[in-house]
């Protein structure tokens, strides 16, 4: 029992950045284990593949609706979306933003704070991220429609920097809110 008390005392003395780094390491190991080993189980792979399929479908159909709403005649077939009369844009797995969303959620999960404070930002952040990705896909389809020579720079640079900037802003606002809540709790 004394050993557990000593370990517990030492863990409480770890600075917040140390706890954060330990949590990041644990989450990274779990991420790698999932993609290296757990996906080999048929049921895990099935659920994962179905999730990817429906995530792709939702993003493509929502993008198609948005493009139609703003005046373009958009179509989808498989993983491709295009504006009538022009070439399409392929929504491949990397375009779903799984890794970027995983990074965002991993940061939130790894940061040492109460669980109740994490759920809100995780849900809101996921919804913001999905909406941002739909806008990104729409922007790429419009770029392919009007000026295809700029498609690569928009896809590989501009839109990625916009997405990462929004993620950094969400992290910053969340951390600021956490600090403000801690200060208010300390004054009460």
pLDDT at 38: 79
**97 part of a folded domain:** yes
**6 part of a folded domain:** no
Mean pLDDT of 143-167: 91
**16 part of a folded domain:** no
**High-pLDDT (> 70) share of the chain, %:** 91
Question: Phi/psi class of residue 85: alpha, beta or left (left: φ > 0; alpha: ψ in -120 to 50)?
Answer: left
Rounded distance between C-alpha atoms, residue 77 and residue 187, angstroms: 58
pLDDT at 35: 78
**12 part of a folded domain:** no
Q: How does residue 11 score in pLDDT terms, banded at 50, 70 and 90?
A: low
Q: How many domains are contained in the chain?
A: 1
The secondary structure element, H or E, covering residue 110 is: helix 98-110
Q: Could you read off the pLDDT of 30-68 as tens digits, one per residue?
A: 988 887 887 788 888 899 899 999 999 999 999 999 999
**152 part of a folded domain:** yes
> What integer best gives the mean pLDDT of the chain?
87
**120 part of a folded domain:** yes
- Which structural domain, as residue segments, surrounds residue 134? 23-182
**4 part of a folded domain:** no
Rounded distance between C-alpha atoms, residue 184 and residue 188, angstroms: 6
CB atoms within 10 A of CB 136: 21
29: pLDDT strictly greater than 80: yes
**140 part of a folded domain:** yes
């Amino acid at each position: 029992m004394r050993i557990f008390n000593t370990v517990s005392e030492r863990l409480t003395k770890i600075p917040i950045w140390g706890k954060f780094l330990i949590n990041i390491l644990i989450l990274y190991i779990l991420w790698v284990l999932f993609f290296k080993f757990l996906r080999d189980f048929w049921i895990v792979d099935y659920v994962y593949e179905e999730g990817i399929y429906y995530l792709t479908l939702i993003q493509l159909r929502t993008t198609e609706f948005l493009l139609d709403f703003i005046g373009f005649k958009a179509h989808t077939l498989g993983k491709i979306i295009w504006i009538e009369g022009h070439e399409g844009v392929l929504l491949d797995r990397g375009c779903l933003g799984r890794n970027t969303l995983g990074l965002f959620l991993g940061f939130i999960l790894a940061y040492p704070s109460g669980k109740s404070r994490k759920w809100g930002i995780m849900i809101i952040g996921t919804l913001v991220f999905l909406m941002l990705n739909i806008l990104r896909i729409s922007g790429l389809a419009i770029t392919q429609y009007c000026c295809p020579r700029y498609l690569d720079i928009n896809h590989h640079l501009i839109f990625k920097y916009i997405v990462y900037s929004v993620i950094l802003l969400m992290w910053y606002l969340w951390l600021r809110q956490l600090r403000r809540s801690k200060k208010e709790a300390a004054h009460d």
